[in-house]
């Protein structure tokens, strides 16, 4: 009895503290405007941060509701103010005393490109940054370019075997081949695996070729059915390194190869460092060495972070720097107001630096070459999108707390000072709700955490509906940064719950490795978190909780409604309903399924079926909304349709919304009006069943 009274007092104090914190948050937002459904269209995304002669440059992207698209412009930070230099600039570099960027400015050029003409035009902003002048015009298309100088460079270019066949059939007459290609749009032809790719469309027969351009002469350096990516030149411009997907005709091999090329002789060398490896980020440490990440998960038969190596290109010596077991490469924190960024490895004399995912943040860390010691180079609640060394510290595009992205200077002690206030006033004048942390212990005894966004305008003693939001991935993570979808729901009177269960990024390879465990420990982590959140809060109505999630979160939503009736409504977004169909339709189906289950439908189809949400659709009682895009080739439309079909068959209230011309990235980069419609559909569904 003494123990029971002690526990009651302990949790009573905890709940009281939580309520006081929520009341404090509500008081702070009382005079601010609510987060509206189109708030994301007002947020500016900062990216492509670069420095030239101590001058800071970057791009800003913003949604345009009227045009239903996005615009991107080049800016310079001048006297602490962002000054626009040029519109329609997505990337740029410094050369010949100016800023160079790719852009077609002439209407006749745009029309010719629409007709199928190949053309690349680079513009140059000179000192003073007035109007841009044409710098270089090329009678072919380019993707990635590595410059030796204006007249000598390497570049990648799209190759289409199907169009090449049309050219040959028309004796090289490009005009006739283009006309025939247009006529052939009434059907699609697939001859390879993968045959489509999310965000790229049909890719059967397509490759990315590597060329060398030398004063008007072009030389193809890759095989016809080989695909090249991410070329990078050494500082002395004598060595090119790139990754290649080996030639294939039919089924593509998993993984890739690392290749170096002598710029003078154009002689290539393939580096067979490991079997079944994927070579990712690589940067030149000096003219003779590169630092690179290598993912060996397929070789080891598990999900794991990439490892960091140092490769000497003259001696062939390969040295491991860090096994990546705890701190993987890159920011995996989910965001719907921008993110990504060019995440690079940089160096000092003692080791390497990179952005990692640490639980629910993305800090900058340093790994020592000799000892492998990890040092955090940033402090506090910060999530970096990209960074570059600058003076005695770093410049970074980052999210801090619940603010939008800004440019920060990070000093040598790790403190971050904002250099811009591009999004600050927008966020300050709106009711941005601060997430409240909830800790819980899972079945393995691991202490995990999640968060609750209290409803805006919270009133003590009142009960509110709640939405559990599950992230994608699964090797992704929710952070402590602003997430528009959740903030909108909180401003609509919902409490919002989110956590990072087993399988998420941010806690190392062992935690992320849920191979063969989907719907097991991850499901129980989520349910334990919900139970704990209900126990530790006093304002959530346990009889009015909904669940939503996209991609992996959609899979888990489908799984949850087939295994419990505790949720009164659900929204399954671009999810998986059957591992059998997913593995044979998704652009990553056969590789993803094998990597996460260790089998395929012919080796052990029963295992995949037993772990498919569709198998349990006859148990579902939860009203469920399904939302999909017809060009989502990651989780193809059939995944949503099958589950919707089943619920209609079993007479469970359900609704299917399909967005035309959108793909798996609808919630992050879809057309602005479609993103608004998407969020309206989800919110309307929960309003119907939870309010």
pLDDT single digits (tens) 666-689: 999 999 999 999 999 999 999 999
Tell me the three state secondary structure of residue 270.
strand
**For residue 194, is the peptide bond before it cis, meaning its omega torsion is within 30 degrees of 0?**
yes
Rounded to an integer, the average pLDDT of 67-73 is: 97
335 counts as catalytic: no
Q: Which of 334, 405, 504, 551 is an active site residue?
A: 551
Do 37 and 676 form a contact (C-beta atoms < 8 A)?
A: yes
The helix or strand, by DSSP H or E, that contains position 679, with its residue range, turns out to be helix 672-690
As a whole number of angstroms, the distance between CA 269 and CA 252 comes to 21
Rounded to an integer, the average pLDDT of 156-183 is: 95
Tokens of 25: 């948050």
The helix or strand, by DSSP H or E, that contains position 177, with its residue range, turns out to be helix 174-183
What was the pLDDT predicted at 10? 44
What was the pLDDT predicted at 14? 53
Per-residue pLDDT band for 339 (boundaries 50, 70, 90) equals: confident
Contacts of 347 (CB under 8 A, 6+ apart): 283, 285, 291, 353
- pLDDT score of 574 more than 70: yes
Tokens of 655: 């609704």
656 — phi, psi (to 5°)? -120, 125
As a whole number of angstroms, the distance between CA 255 and CA 80 comes to 45
Q: Which of 430, 471, 628, 664 is an active site residue?
A: 664
What was the pLDDT predicted at 2? 33
Tens of pLDDT, residues 24-54: 555 555 689 999 999 999 999 999 999 999 9
563 counts as catalytic: no
- Select from 343, 330, 347, 412 the least CA-distant residue to 377: 412
What was the pLDDT predicted at 17? 53
- pLDDT score of 414 more than 80: yes
- pLDDT score of 604 more than 90: yes
- Select from 548, 563, 570, 579 the least CA-distant residue to 478: 548
Count of alpha carbons within 13 Å of 585, Cβ hemisphere only?
16
- Burial annotation 364-388 (CB, 10 A radius, 16+ → b, else e): bbbbebeeeeeeebbeeebbbbbbe
Contacts of residues 11-15 at CB distance under 8 Å and 24 or more positions apart, as own/partner, are: 11/535, 11/536, 14/536, 15/536, 15/537, 15/538
As a whole number of angstroms, the distance between CA 623 and CA 686 comes to 10
What was the pLDDT predicted at 338? 83
Rounded to an integer, the average pLDDT of 539-553 is: 98
Rounded to an integer, the average pLDDT of 88-93 is: 94
What was the pLDDT predicted at 257? 96
- Select from 338, 331, 290, 413 the least CA-distant residue to 59: 338
- Select from 540, 545, 548 the least CA-distant residue to 567: 545
- pLDDT score of 9 more than 80: no
What was the pLDDT predicted at 13? 46
What was the pLDDT predicted at 20? 55
What was the pLDDT predicted at 275? 86
Tens of pLDDT, residues 456-476: 999 999 999 999 999 999 999
CATH architecture of 431-690: 3-Layer(aba) Sandwich (3.40)
Question: What is the domain partition of the chain in residue ranges?
Answer: 222-265+267-324, 431-690
| Number of Cβ within a 10 Å radius of residue 115 | 11
Tens of pLDDT, residues 370-411: 999 999 999 999 999 999 999 999 999 999 999 999 999 999
- Select from 204, 242, 194 the least CA-distant residue to 221: 242
- pLDDT score of 8 more than 50: no
What was the pLDDT predicted at 31? 84
Rounded to an integer, the average pLDDT of 471-495 is: 97
Task: Give CA 585 to chain center in angstroms.
Answer: 21
Task: Enumerate the H helices of 279-341 as residue ranges.
Answer: 297-300
Sign of the alpha-carbon torsion through 62, 64, 67, 69: positive
Rounded to an integer, the average pLDDT of 489-498 is: 98
Do 571 and 593 form a contact (C-beta atoms < 8 A)?
A: no
| Number of Cβ within a 10 Å radius of residue 541 | 15
- pLDDT score of 298 more than 50: yes
Per-residue pLDDT band for 599 (boundaries 50, 70, 90) equals: very high
pTM: 0.94
What was the pLDDT predicted at 22? 58
What was the pLDDT predicted at 341? 75
CA distances (Å), 628 to each of 375, 660, 661, in order?
42, 9, 11
Rounded to an integer, the average pLDDT of 637-645 is: 98
- pLDDT score of 1 more than 60: no
Rounded to an integer, the average pLDDT of 538-567 is: 98
Contacts of 134 (CB under 8 A, 6+ apart): 105, 121, 122, 123, 124
Per-residue pLDDT band for 342 (boundaries 50, 70, 90) equals: confident
As a whole number of angstroms, the distance between CA 629 and CA 199 comes to 11
Do 386 and 341 form a contact (C-beta atoms < 8 A)?
A: yes
Per-residue pLDDT band for 192 (boundaries 50, 70, 90) equals: very high
- Select from 109, 90, 107, 99 the least CA-distant residue to 133: 99
């Amino acid at each position: 009895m003494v123990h029971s009274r002690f526990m009651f007092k302990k949790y009573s104090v905890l709940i009281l503290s939580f309520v006081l914190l929520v009341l404090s948050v509500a008081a702070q937002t009382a005079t601010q405007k609510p987060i509206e459904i189109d708030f994301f269209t007002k947020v500016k995304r900062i990216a492509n941060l670069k420095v030239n002669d101590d001058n800071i440059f970057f791009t800003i992207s913003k949604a345009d509701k009227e045009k239903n698209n996005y615009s991107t412009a080049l800016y310079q930070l001048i006297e602490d103010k962002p000054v626009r230099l040029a519109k329609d600039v997505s990337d740029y570099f410094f050369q010949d005393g100016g800023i160079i960027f790719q852009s077609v400015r002439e209407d006749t050029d745009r029309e010719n490109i629409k007709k199928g003409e190949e053309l690349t035009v680079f513009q140059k902003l000179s000192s003073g940054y007035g109007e841009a002048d044409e710098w270089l015009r090329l009678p072919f298309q380019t993707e990635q370019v590595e410059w030796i100088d204006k007249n000598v460079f390497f570049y990648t270019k799209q190759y289409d075997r199907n169009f090449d066949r049309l050219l040959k059939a028309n004796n090289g007459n490009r005009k006739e081949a283009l006309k025939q290609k247009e006529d052939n749009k009434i059907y699609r032809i697939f001859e390879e695996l993968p045959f489509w790719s999310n965000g790229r469309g049909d890719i059967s027969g397509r490759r990315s070729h590597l060329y060398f351009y030398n004063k008007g002469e072009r030389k193809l350096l890759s095989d016809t059915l080989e695909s090249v990516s991410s070329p990078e030149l050494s500082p002395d411009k004598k060595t090119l390194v790139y990754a290649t997907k080996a030639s294939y005709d039919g089924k593509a091999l998993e993984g890739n190869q690392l290749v170096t090329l002598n710029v003078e002789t154009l002689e290539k060398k393939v580096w067979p460092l490991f079997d079944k490896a994927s070579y990712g980020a690589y940067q030149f440490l000096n003219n003779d060495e590169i630092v690179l990440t290598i993912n060996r998960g397929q070789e080891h038969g598990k999900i794991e972070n990439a490892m960091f190596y140092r490769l000497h290109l003259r001696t062939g010596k390969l040295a491991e720097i860090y096994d990546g077991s705890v701190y993987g490469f890159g920011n995996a924190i989910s965001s719907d107001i921008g993110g990504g960024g060019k995440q690079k490895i940089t160096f000092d004399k003692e080791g390497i630096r990179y952005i990692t995912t640490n639980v629910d943040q993305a800090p900058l860390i340093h790994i020592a070459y000799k000892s492998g010691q990890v040092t955090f180079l940033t402090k506090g609640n910060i999530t970096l999108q990209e960074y570059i060394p600058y003076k005695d510290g770093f410049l970074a595009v980052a999210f801090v707390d619940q603010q939008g992205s800004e440019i920060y200077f990070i000093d040598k002690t790790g403190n971050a000072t904002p250099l811009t206030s591009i999004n600050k006033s927008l966020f300050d004048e709106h009711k941005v709700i601060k997430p409240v942390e909830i800790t819980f212990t899972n079945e393995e005894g691991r202490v995990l955490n999640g968060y609750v966004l209290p409803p805006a305008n919270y009133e003590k003693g009142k009960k509110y509906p709640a939405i559990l939001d599950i992230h994608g991935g699964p090797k992704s993570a929710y952070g402590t940064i602003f997430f528009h979808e959740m903030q909108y729901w909180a401003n609509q009177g919902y409490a919002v719950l989110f956590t990072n269960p087993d399988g998420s990024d941010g806690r190392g390879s062992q935690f992320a490795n849920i191979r063969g465990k989907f719907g097991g420990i991850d499901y129980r982590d989520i349910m334990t978190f919900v139970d704990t959140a209900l126990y530790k809060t006093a304002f959530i109505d346990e009889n009015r909780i909904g669940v939503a999630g996209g991609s992996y979160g959609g899979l888990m939503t489908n799984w949850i409604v087939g295994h419990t009736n505790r949720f009164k409504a659900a929204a399954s977004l671009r999810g998986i309903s059957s591992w059998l169909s997913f593995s044979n339709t998704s652009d990553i189906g056969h590789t993803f399924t094998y990597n996460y289950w260790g089998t395929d439908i012919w080796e052990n189809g029963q295992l995949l079926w037993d772990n498919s949400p569709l198998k349990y659709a006859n148990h579902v009682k939860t009203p469920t909304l399904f939302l999909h895009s017809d060009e989502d080739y990651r989780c193809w439309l059939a995944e949503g349709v099958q589950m919707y079909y089943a619920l209609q068959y079993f007479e469970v209230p359900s609704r299917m919304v399909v967005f035309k011309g959108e793909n798996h990235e609808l919630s992050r980069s879809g057309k602005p009006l479609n993103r608004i419609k998407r969020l309206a559909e989800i919110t309307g569904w929960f309003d119907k069943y939870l309010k």
